[in-house]
Amino acid sequence: MNAPQNTGNENIPAHVAIIMDGNGRWATARGLSRTEGHRKGAEAARHVVEAAGELGIRYLTLFAFSSENWNRPADEVNDLMNLLRYYLKKETAELHKNGARIKVIGDRSALPIDIVKLIENAENLTRDNAKITVVLALNYGGRQDIIFAAKELARQVRADETDLATVNENSFSRYMMTGDIPDPDLMIRTSGESRISNFLLWQMAYAELYFTDTLWPDFSKKDLKDAVAHFSGRDRRFGGLSQSHEIQG
């Protein structure tokens, strides 16, 4: 488990991860296509990235496309890929201008070649930015991430590059796709669903979970601030005693 990073304000989570759920239901309720819902969801993502930077959140991970999303209708998957192209082309320069670093996690081998190139360009352009790191989870699955890490560790042990006896939680975390960033402090899921859907399974061992009925396209800067305020009132014990219990003895 990667150690939490001090933001200078202990009431603000260093890393917020979001499952952006509800685009389709938002569109259906308005008699619109699911594609229109995804477009509106992309707009919500833009506003939330801005709000995260304003709040002093250092890392924001957005679950944009899961490894299971390939099972959706082909037309919807194509629309999602086109929206991803548009987002990477349109938003990369703006994020760079605002000091954001872009990082993408997930299996890129199944993504269209032109999208992989757009990802590489975005990461290379913004690699030295430090205000906020925006992590896009694309073709990502938590179990897949753990298997990837285990295979890489096994390869290094077999090649005598790593001593198996020295492996612990902290060292294993470095093999994860998020190995260079702290684990999430807060996970938000929109649309009323109360599950984590194979998202950052290892990394969220001690994350605070926040579920809201708000559909993702309606999720605003105020909604993010409300989630952070809720986080601020949590007693994070990491398996130990609460601070109030320690004070009382």
Does 161 have pLDDT greater than 50? yes
Residue by residue, DSSP assigns the chain as: -PPP---S-TTS-SEEEEE---HHHHHHHTT--HHHHHHHHHHHHHHHHHHHHHHT-SEEEEEEEETTGGGS-HHHHHHHHHHHHHHHHHHHHHHHHTTEEEEEES-GGGS-HHHHHHHHHHHHHHTT--SEEEEEEEEE-HHHHHHHHHHHHHHHHHTTSS-GGG--HHHHHTTSTTTTSPPPSEEEE-TT----TTSSTTTTTT-EEEE-SS-GGG--HHHHHHHHHHHHT----TTS--HHHHHH-
The pLDDT confidence band at residue 233, using thresholds 50, 70 and 90, is confident
Does 227 have pLDDT greater than 90? yes
Query: Which residues have a catalytic role annotated?
Result: 21, 69
CATH code reported for the domain at 15-232: 3.40.1180.10
pTM score above 0.75: yes
Domain spans, the chain: 15-232
Q: What's the whole-number average pLDDT of the chain? A: 91
Query: What's the whole-number mean pLDDT along residues 180-204?
Result: 97
Query: What's the whole-number mean pLDDT along residues 90-94?
Result: 93
